[in-house]
Amino acid sequence: MANITIKRGDTLFLQCSVASNSLPQNLQNWQIKSTVKYGPRPVANLTVTKSSDSFTLQGSTANWPVGVLQCDIQYTTEGIVTGKQIGRAHV
């Protein structure tokens, strides 16, 4: 799990990839969503831009509360939905 510190008002920009057995996965047929939460409350849906083997998460932090937030990613491929908490953002 990754932890980052970001100043409120900055733009969050993360470059991500998915690997299996140390090999990058082809993401062409995957759907990817990402949500930032403060406790159980959703704060923002991040913009996902994907290429064949990587993706970026981007969003403005201008309206995020100050504190520790969680970022979750949800992957859907072949009708199977999986999710993962990727880390915490200290705002």
Q: Find the angle CA(46)-CA(51)-CA(53) to the nearest 5 degrees.
A: 105
What is the predicted pLDDT for the residue at 86? 77
Identify the H or E element spanning 43. Answer: strand 41-45
pLDDT at residue 1, as a whole number:
58
Query: Residue 29: left if φ>0, alpha if ψ -120 to 50, beta else—which one?
Result: alpha
In tens, the pLDDT along 1-44 reads 578 999 999 999 999 988 889 998 899 899 999 999 999 999 99
CA distance 8 to 71: 15
Q: What confidence score (pLDDT) does residue 30 get?
A: 92
Return the closest-CA partner of residue 66 out of 1, 3, 2, 5: 5
Give the model's pLDDT for residue 59. 96
What is the tens place of the pLDDT at every residue in 39-91?
Answer: 999 999 999 999 989 999 999 999 999 999 999 999 998 889 987 777 889 99
The most distant pair of C-alpha atoms in the chain lies apart, rounded to whole Å, by 38
